[in-house]
Amino acid sequence: MKQLAIQLENVTKVYKGKKAVDDLSLSIERGTVLALLGPNGAGKTTTISMILGLQQPTSGKIKLLGGNPRDSEVRNRIGAMLQDVSIIDNLKVSETINLFRNYYTNPLSLAELLRISGLENEKNKMAASLSGGQQRRLGFALAAAGDPEIIFLDEPTVGMDISSRQLFWDTIRAMAGKGRTVVLTTHYLEEADNLADRIVVINNGKLIADGTPSEIKAGTTGRVISFTAGVSVKSEMLLAIPGVVDVEWSGRRVKLHSNDTDTLIRVLIEKRIEMHDIEIQSGGLEDAFQTLVDNTNVLKGVV
């Protein structure tokens, strides 16, 4: 069995009587790239802050690399980029990176950190004069400074342009290739789909889904067959076909949602349903995510 990088056992955090994180249990194996997804206010930042020891859980237990996140031995082996990157006044980019490198026993070289953050041309600029996207990239260089075994990235690519985001993704993949553990939060579902080998979705502080990107997609939305229906085709007739989960109309164009489109297409042909311009699509992560969040909100009576 792989060793665990992070363990949360029944972790709850209450702010002013409201649960920001609600009985969350999670084990993350070393070498995993895990994306933590959830709508605004779901509890992602609070969860990461507790794992890092910046906030204490109200109840429950957390272990980071088998120990306490506040121990210097553990801190030396992790890196974190939080939502607000704090920039130190009067220091150049290279001086800021070197300052952070000094905190660690085995730091990456300055040249490597400038390269992976795409800041080679900015190394002599004052850190405070960087644009928002460049400051995020500096935050990433600082998080990676100690060549961490686990790196936490809270909304890392907000404000980054497309080429910076691409460089960042390549770097994360290279870190994963070296067996590093990466935990990131993101609102970009494409990013989670592209990078993560495990996605954990939380809503209202509770875990609502946990799996690979394809498991998350398959488990919720299934797939869609769409076609232009002949005039004889009626909703009731389509809903009566086994395997049809939902029917959506747009003029004469109809979308049938199903978990098994292979069987469904055969049945539709056998039943001689009049169909033109047939398309079969798999549901994206966006749909899966929205379905999950909507379902848990309905269960809680939020909407």
Ligand X SMILES: Nc1ncnc2c1ncn2[C@@H]1O[C@H](COP(=O)(O)OP(=O)(O)OP(=O)(O)O)[C@@H](O)[C@H]1O
Binding site residues, ligand X, CB under 6 A: 15-16, 20, 38, 40-46
Instruction: Report which of 244, 220, 221, 222 is spatially closest to residue 233, judged by C-alpha positions.
Output: 244
Minimum distance from residue 286 beta carbon to ligand X (Å): 16
CA distance 214 to 197: 9
Between residues 268 and 293, which has the closer beta carbon with respect to ligand X? 293
% helix, strand, coil for the chain, step of 5: 35, 30, 35
What b/e readout covers 119-145, taking b as 16+ CB neighbours within 10 angstroms? beebbeeebeebeeebbbbbbbbbbbb
DSSP for 129-152, written as a single string: GS-HHHHHHHHHHHHHTT--SEEE
User: Residue 212: helix, strand or coil by DSSP?
Assistant: coil
For the record, the structure tokens of 112 come out as 């490597």
Minimum distance from residue 139 beta carbon to ligand X (Å): 15
Between residues 19 and 92, which has the closer beta carbon with respect to ligand X? 19
Within 13 A of 52's CA, how many CA atoms are on the CB side? 19
Minimum distance from residue 15 beta carbon to ligand X (Å): 3
Between residues 41 and 132, which has the closer beta carbon with respect to ligand X? 41
- Label the pairing between strands 150-154 and 181-185: parallel
Between residues 16 and 272, which has the closer beta carbon with respect to ligand X? 16
Within 13 A of 149's CA, how many CA atoms are on the CB side? 16
Distances (CA, A) of 127 to 100, 110, 114, 138, 244: 13, 15, 13, 8, 57
Minimum distance from residue 187 beta carbon to ligand X (Å): 7
| Residue pair 213/221 in contact by the 8 Å Cβ criterion | no
Between residues 50 and 93, which has the closer beta carbon with respect to ligand X? 50
Between residues 44 and 180, which has the closer beta carbon with respect to ligand X? 44
Q: What size, in residues, is the chain?
A: 303
Between residues 15 and 249, which has the closer beta carbon with respect to ligand X? 15
User: Residue 270: helix, strand or coil by DSSP?
Assistant: helix
Minimum distance from residue 36 beta carbon to ligand X (Å): 8
Minimum distance from residue 143 beta carbon to ligand X (Å): 17
Between residues 200 and 275, which has the closer beta carbon with respect to ligand X? 200
Minimum distance from residue 302 beta carbon to ligand X (Å): 12
Minimum distance from residue 78 beta carbon to ligand X (Å): 19
CA distance 153 to 73: 20
